[in-house]
A and B are shown apart, each in its own frame.
Chain A
């Protein structure tokens, strides 16, 4: 028997006996049918509460960002976003940038008057490593947790949003969702059967507490995470 069949046979043999608990009736043994997943559950009422209105969502995302030390700026217009990027460029002294040719990202990154490494057609890892900031789009912002959802499709691949020391996310207002269940629904609607090879839920800048449980930002990934939303 090949190893796959060995393991599956052991599992099937073990599952012939239903589970038993000392204090409660055993949970029903799932039917051995064709379907693999039970109906989806709604977790909304279990998870932290988020208000129903858009203003509640922006307030929740801003509060979570403050805790996480994400810099979150809610803008009115694209011009305002451009001004904010120029301010960041000058304050942090950006010399080299990295970005991808996303619909909103490309024009904004291109207008910063700095050399830009575009990751779309392949790139050199060492060249990306020395960029001062990586500018990417995203798939969603999650108000409940202050999370930025990116994929290898929406954020210029796997490394652009984690290798440079500063990750700048450019997000549209309609990308802000109230909670995690909605974010996963969005992903399913967007990609369906053909998911990108990586989906990442980024919650704050890179962090560690491995030395005496003291928080340090920028352990391996970005030390700064900025979210500009308009």
Chain B
């Protein structure tokens, strides 16, 4: 087993039995579900909206090269600098380089999953810079020194009591466990950071080709401040975030808010098309946009799974996933957890090392139903399984399937195996659920299904014989109800 797989199993084993964790997640997601469904119902045609969004993303991805060229040209025409990063290391070097050249002292950052993906904070801190996460949830997990739990709700696994204790320990300021007071503590601390910061780093939810703008969605206003106050602004954006037109946002913004957080529209949806322009009173003097590939072109090169690039990182598939809800976000050990994480992580970090994620699925398809851009998520999980086994077949699995085929193709063998099975189950009772049990992986926490005492064929034969006996006396008309 690869280290990521054994880590996954180990953490999953702990969390699936953690009732407190389960309560917390079910409560949070229960509230979310109510609001999500309420907002969905306000759309005149939600399914039509999904179809339109999927078609627009297919168009955007199908012409990605042209859209990126237009996007970069428009941005540069207004004084922004566009950088192209083929891989994570290149992106880190570009961003650390900009911070060094500008002699940045304090860097404020608004939530960006791409930055998590390339481990930007570690790189910046390693180079001697102070980086402050400004999104409240990210700020909390940064203080705890851990990765976000969820791509939209980073701190959803923590209670207010835990956050109060954290603030008391790290900030020396925690008046109570009232969420409002705790939020105000973070507001005060971060305000001072904002006023001092000379570098702002953001992610982007969309990149508009037509007008050369990035679009940032948030609720708190932290990204707004990150893009307003520091002298230099850097935006790290994955190349797949492209939308062809500005007007496409009229569809994508409310859809993202609806399935992402159960809102009709998020608090702030903001477009940035350059640094401060002549005649404008404020804004950064420099605006750098870093376009990140980092294996996205490899997903593009897989015609079957190309639509994984439609993803708008709303988190809807995580929220409905029975696996995610039980094992929790940090168990995955990936930047992107949940179904979309299980689909793209094997592309980003290697199929053989991460194939346990597509295997850890009930294939129920809830993710595919929830996806606002209609990514065929659960079929992609199946395709990963197929590809993983085709690349590296497992001998005992092949043998087992060959044996199974032989048994089900030969009636005599089938009857024999049933008889042996019933016998075996009797003996199994002696070791069931103990370490000696060969089926321990299953029986340690589940019931073993019992073989029926007789097969369907035996039952049918018996039934027909009984009927024949009865009918012989009463005639066909009395077959009864």
Residues of A within 8 A of B (CB): 2-4, 6-8, 10-15, 17-23, 26-27, 29-30, 32, 36-38, 40-41, 43, 45-49, 64, 100, 119-123, 125-126, 129, 144-147, 152-153, 156-160, 162-163, 179-181, 183-185, 187-188, 195-214, 216, 218-222
Query: Which 9 residue pairs across A and B have the least CB separation, nearest first?
Result: A221-B221, A219-B220, A158-B228, A14-B301, A210-B137, A10-B297, A180-B250, A157-B281, A14-B300
- Cross-interface CB contact of B281 among A121, A204, A216, cutoff 8 Å: A121
Known: A145-B264, A208-B136. A213 touches B44 (CB 8 A): no
A145 x B265 contact (CB < 8 A): yes
B268 within 8 A of A: yes
B224 x A207 contact (CB < 8 A): no
B165 within 8 A of A: no
A204: which B residues are within 8 A, CB to CB?
Answer: 267
A195: which B residues are within 8 A, CB to CB?
Answer: 211, 213, 271, 273
Q: Convert B75-87 into 0s and 1s, putting 1 for each residue whose CB lies closer than 8 angstroms to a CB of A.
A: 0001000011110
B283 x A158 contact (CB < 8 A): yes
Known: A21-B376, A37-B210, A125-B229. A187 touches B265 (CB 8 A): no
B186 CB, nearest partner CB in chain A, Å: 8
Q: Convert B37-72 into 0s and 1s, putting 1 for each residue whose CB lies closer than 8 angstroms to a CB of A.
A: 000001111101100100110110011111111101
A184 x B251 contact (CB < 8 A): no
A11 x B250 contact (CB < 8 A): no
Interface size for chain B: under 10, 10 to 19, 20 to 34, or 35 or more residues? 35 or more
CA distance A179 to B44 in the complex (A): 13
Which of A14, A122, A179 has the largest count of B CB atoms less than 10 A from its CB?
Answer: A14
B379: which A residues are within 8 A, CB to CB?
Answer: 22-23
A-B pairs with beta carbons under 8 Å apart, 13 shown? A6-B86, A15-B63, A32-B63, A36-B70, A125-B229, A159-B228, A163-B229, A183-B250, A197-B280, A214-B179, A216-B180, A218-B187, A221-B224
| B240-248, B323-331, B435-443 - interface stretch | B240-248
B342 within 8 A of A: no
CA distance A195 to B55 in the complex (A): 27
CA distance A218 to B65 in the complex (A): 41
Which of A23, A40, A46, A216 has the largest count of B CB atoms less than 10 A from its CB?
Answer: A46
A26: which B residues are within 8 A, CB to CB?
Answer: 303
A171 CB, nearest partner CB in chain B, Å: 17
A19 x B301 contact (CB < 8 A): no
- Cross-interface CB contact of A158 among B179, B180, B183, B227, cutoff 8 Å: B227
A213: which B residues are within 8 A, CB to CB?
Answer: 27-28, 31-32, 153, 156
B222 within 8 A of A: yes
Beyond known contacts A10-B293, A198-B228, A210-B154: 4 more, CB 8 A cutoff: A10-B297, A152-B280, A196-B273, A199-B271
A27 CB, nearest partner CB in chain B, Å: 5
CA distance A144 to B253 in the complex (A): 13
Residues of B within 8 A of A (CB): 24, 27-28, 31-32, 42-46, 48-49, 52, 55-56, 58-59, 62-70, 72, 78, 83-86, 90, 134-137, 140, 153-156, 158-160, 163, 179-180, 182-184, 186-187, 190-191, 195, 209-211, 213, 219-222, 224-225, 227-229, 239, 244-251, 253-254, 261, 263-277, 279-283, 287, 291, 293, 297-298, 300-301, 303-304, 306-307, 376, 379, 383
B160 x A197 contact (CB < 8 A): no
Residues of A contacting B: mostly? loop
B69 x A158 contact (CB < 8 A): no
A7: which B residues are within 8 A, CB to CB?
Answer: 68, 84, 86, 239, 291, 293, 297
A47 x B44 contact (CB < 8 A): yes
Which of B59, B246, B307 has the largest count of A CB atoms less than 10 A from its CB?
Answer: B246
Which of B55, B59, B83, B220 has the largest count of A CB atoms less than 10 A from its CB?
Answer: B220
B190: which A residues are within 8 A, CB to CB?
Answer: 220
B282 x A119 contact (CB < 8 A): yes
B274: which A residues are within 8 A, CB to CB?
Answer: 197
Q: Which residue of A lies closest to B49 (CB)?
A: A46
CA distance A38 to B62 in the complex (A): 12
CA distance A17 to B282 in the complex (A): 46
CA distance A64 to B267 in the complex (A): 13
B140 x A198 contact (CB < 8 A): no
CA distance A195 to B271 in the complex (A): 10
CA distance A8 to B71 in the complex (A): 13
Known: A27-B55, A210-B135. A180 touches B225 (CB 8 A): no
CA distance A13 to B301 in the complex (A): 8
CA distance A188 to B208 in the complex (A): 14
CA distance A40 to B251 in the complex (A): 12
CA distance A106 to B363 in the complex (A): 60
CA distance A158 to B280 in the complex (A): 9
B281 CB, nearest partner CB in chain A, Å: 4
CA distance A125 to B248 in the complex (A): 34
Q: Which residue of A lies closest to B90 (CB)?
A: A3
Known: A48-B43, A197-B283. A126 touches B195 (CB 8 A): yes
A118 CB, nearest partner CB in chain B, Å: 9
CA distance A48 to B244 in the complex (A): 23
Known: A36-B70, A119-B281, A157-B280. A181 touches B250 (CB 8 A): yes
A203 CB, nearest partner CB in chain B, Å: 4
